[in-house]
Amino acid sequence: MAKLHGHVTINIENCKGCELCTDACPQNSLNMSKNINKKGYHYAILVEENCTGCTNCALVCPEAVMTVYRENKNRIIKPAPMASIDSKNISVSIS
């Protein structure tokens, strides 16, 4: 399967420089900045263009500072309401 092209943006001011994302990225697309943010942390940055949008970095990031983009192959996996629940009857239908 050909890899899709992806991208991530990072809210660097909330990054705590834990390095978990850089370690989790299978593409080695991320690295830690030499600069520090206002809290004094070296923050993560995207340094390679080979990101596939696999979301690994976002999944492990404790601060949830990532937004991950991926080329559109006609499907959307954004964690929007996948299920709807009728709060009165407490019955669920997964869409």
Residue ranges that bind another protein, judged by CB under 8 A: 5-14, 16-20, 23-24, 29, 33, 38-41, 45-49, 51, 53-72, 75-85, 87, 90-92
Binding span for ligand SF4 by CB under 6 A among 56-64, 78-86, 87-95: 56-64
- In the list 2, 9, 18, 82, the residue contacting ligand SF4 (rule: CB under 6 A) is 18
Q: Which is nearer to ligand SF4, 19 or 85 (CB)?
A: 19
Contact between 37 and 44 under an 8 Å Cβ cutoff? The reply is no
**Nearest Cα to 50, choosing from 9, 5, 19?**
5
Q: Output the CA torsion sign for 22, 52, 12, 63.
A: negative
What, of ligand SF4, another protein, none, does residue 52 touch, CB below 5 to 8 Å by kind? ligand SF4
**Nearest Cα to 94, choosing from 80, 78, 83?**
83
